[in-house]
Structure 1
Amino acid sequence: MKKLLACAALSGCAVTVQAQSSNVTLYGVIDGGLSRSSNVNGKSLNAVDTGILSPNIIGIRGSEDLGDGMRAFFRLQSQFQMDSGAQVGNLWGHYAGVGLEGRFGQIQAGNLNDFMFTTLTQKTYGPMFPFVSIQFMRRGPFDGFGRPGGQSPSADFDRTGNTSRIGNAVRYDSPRVYGVQLGALYGFGESTTAGTNNSSSKSYSADYTGGPVTLTAAYTSVNYAALGNGEDGVRTWGAGARYDFGDGVHWSGVYTNSRNTANDARIGAFATALLFSPTTNTRAIGQYTYMKGNEVLTNNKAHQVNLSLHYLFSKRTNVYTSFGWQHATGDAEKVQAALMASAGAASGSSQNILRVGMQHAF
């Protein structure tokens, strides 16, 4: 075992340690490449960009067979920047959970993903999900939305991009019965400075899979200490659908609606995507997204197009090129486009990013 752990520490090879009915696995994924942004604060920008197709993560997961169809499990996951080696957030800030799984379903506690990501993004995209980068997710000309945290007040406003987790949380996923699975999560605010809802979080989901059809729905409510002394926050709900045509062709559509209860800013967003496989080792995906804010956000709107082409050297190594374009309009005198993963908003109404990258999992 010492030799295996030394191998992981020094050369980065995958390690699985097994003992009796338990196992522990070291795993990770690294994504890096070159990106060119057309307009960041009025200037073009070339950058070695990292964590775009997927976050750069290193993690440890394990499980133990407890008998009678039950197992205990854990997962610890850390995010880092490939270009600098710097840690992103806390040591296990990208995920930290422990729980039990059996015929009753799965229950876990820790710093967990909510259902806007695990149901509305992962299950709606399905086979497309490994090829959907953070650039496909939502940002736009909505800084007045005012969501605390993130790279801007509107970055990942509907939480579908998994840029944040819910801490101090307990989550339950039901077994799938007649194609239906349900889920519920509660995050304890663990604060007594205000009312019972202070900084607490809730998330619920339902999804159905039958043959080629998948239907999804999710709701997440997160209160923030910075909004209304922890009594206000962001309420987001969404619904999605996927149809698997076969032969590597898949379609998905998703709608989300997000509201900041502190200022009544609202954003509705709709995205439709198509994945097809020109050859055994290639994947192509295109997505169109429309986003619209309410009067609080000066009726700002954004049209966004994302395209990517991937070549799979193996199950673990993927090289790709991607292109994202956004055009923004609204009632304000100046409306600035802002793609997810851009270094900043554009100086005007349009912004695009061209990228060539490589992703490797271990």
Structure 2
Amino acid sequence: MKKSTIFSLLCCASSMTFAQSSTNVSIYGILDVGVDRVSNVGGNSNTLVNTGVLVPNLLGFRGSEDLGGGLKAIFKLETQFALDTGATIGINGTSEGMWNHGAYVGLEGSMGKVTVGALDDFMFSNLSVKRYGFGAMFPFVSLTFLRQGPFANLSPVGSFDFDRTALTSRVSNAIRYDSPNIGGFNFGALYGMGEQAGGKNRNSTYSLGADYASGPWTFTAAMISAKSPLINNGDDGLTSWGIGGRYDFTGGISTDFLYTNTKNTFTNAKIDVYEVGAIMSPTPTTRLIGQYTYMKGNDVLDSNKAHQINAGLHYLLSKRSNVYVQFSYQKASGDDTTAKAQLMLMGPSSGGSQNVLRVGMFHAF
């Protein structure tokens, strides 16, 4: 796969830690590879080896230094690559950049955390990471579970990850603040500078997020406004906002819900998304996940819509390794010319339906 995916924050697992005085540096990585069978891409079926679908293939370095008084310096450097070819995958879909999946330095203390660099926005960190939850639904939600659909006219680059919940891009030249936890409540803000002399806010990005967790409930909210040099010369772009949540039952069952709204501020093209899902543990070493998504475009997008069903079964070989089978199906309708089903990254179908069956393996170190 040539795009980055939903689960960069999953990389918290690390196997090597170096300590000198009050300084700690960790090396970590995650790997995913599998075989996909796609029913229809341009009228033909296809079988291919794909990597970075369940999670991105990453190698990263993280560190912190205790500065005293409850304050510490922090950093992260993270690169993404294709496991089948070894090629690096560039930031925001380009082929450039060694630390293409995120890089920052910052300070963290009792008043919160401030980071500067190429950063994740709150549509991902709140509506995906915190909504799914570590140990609850991560890392079992595949890239193909997320959104693309029959909305190619949304922007000049199509509709790939249109609501940004899959982290297919980070915000460059950004400053981000994350609050400390205040009775279960967190909030934050991010600003990405457009760096255009005389261009006011051209090519700039801002994002806000908030979440609250109490007992089995988690509620999340986020928004982003990202101006693009490809839309009205950088004076317009895509805005998205969403609300979501999760409820954790006893016995290893979790349910989640999500609503997002995405709009092209230049053309007024708009997509509404409604999603519900659940995960359960039939045995201590298995995870079964199911999800339903409904996407609806407005008249600028030919009133196209899509229903999508996703399912997955994971067998845990250990805490760091699992094998899995996943299936996704999408049914699109609307305009006869543009309502072409498309699951994430698989290429558009020649008609209104597409499905993909994947058998894969995941490992973290």
Residue among 262, 267, 270 paired with 1:263: 267
Q: Provide the alpha-carbon RMSD of the alignment.
A: 1.1
- For these two proteins, the number of residue pairs brought into alignment is 344
Which residue number in structure 2 is paired with residue 184 of structure 1?
189
Contact 2:150–2:338, Cα closer than 8 Å, also in 1: no
1:353 is aligned to 2:360: no
Give percent identity, aligned residues only. Answer: 52
One-letter code of the match for 1:260?
A: N
Between the aligned partners of 2:211 and 2:237, the Cα distance in structure 1 is 25
The corresponding residue for 2:5 is none
The equivalent residue for 2:108 is: 101
* Correspondences of 1:333-348 after superposition (within 5 Å): 333-342=337-346, 344-348=347-351
Matches within 5 A, 1:166-315: 166-192=171-197, 194=199, 196-315=200-319
Cα displacement string for residues 182-231 of structure 1 (whole angstroms, at most 9, x for unaligned residues):
0100000001253x110000000111101111111000000011111111
Tell me by how many angstroms 1:334 deviates. Answer: 4.9
Superimposed CA distance per residue, residues 332-354 of structure 1 (whole angstroms, 9 cap, x where no aligned partner): 44521000131x10001000000
Separation (CA, whole Å) in 2 of partners of 1:352 and 1:260:
28
Q: Which amino acid aligns with 1:222?
A: A
- Could you say which residue in structure 2 is the equivalent of 1:40? 41
Partner of 1:8: none
Q: For residue 138 of structure 2, give the secondary structure of its aligned residue in structure 1.
A: helix
Partner secondary structure for residue 213 of structure 2: strand
Aligned to 1:3: none
Deviations 1:70-108 (A, max 9, x none): 111100100000011111012111110111111101110
* Structure 2 residue 154 is the aligned partner of structure 1 residue 145: yes
SS in structure 2 of the partner of residue 60 of structure 1: strand
Segments of structure 1 that go 5 or more residues without pairing to the other structure are: 1-12
Which residue of structure 2 aligns with residue 130 of structure 1? Answer: 139
Contact in 1 for aligned 2:160/2:345 (Cα 8 Å): no
Cα deviation, 1:24-81, whole Å, max 9, x if unaligned, reads 1111111001110000111110001110000101111111111221111100100000
Query: Post-superposition shift, 1:15?
Result: 2.8
8 Å CA contact retained: 2:33, 2:361: yes
Tell me the amino acid that sits aligned with residue 192 of structure 2.
G
Residue 14 of structure 1, CA deviation: 4.0
**Residue in 1 that maps onto 2:50:** 49
1:9-24 maps to which residues of 2 (within 5 A)? Answer: 14-24=15-25
Q: Secondary structure at the match of 2:350?
A: coil
Query: Which residue identity does 2:217 align to in structure 1?
Result: V
Which SS does the other structure have where 1:347 is aligned?
coil
Matched to 1:105, the amino acid is G
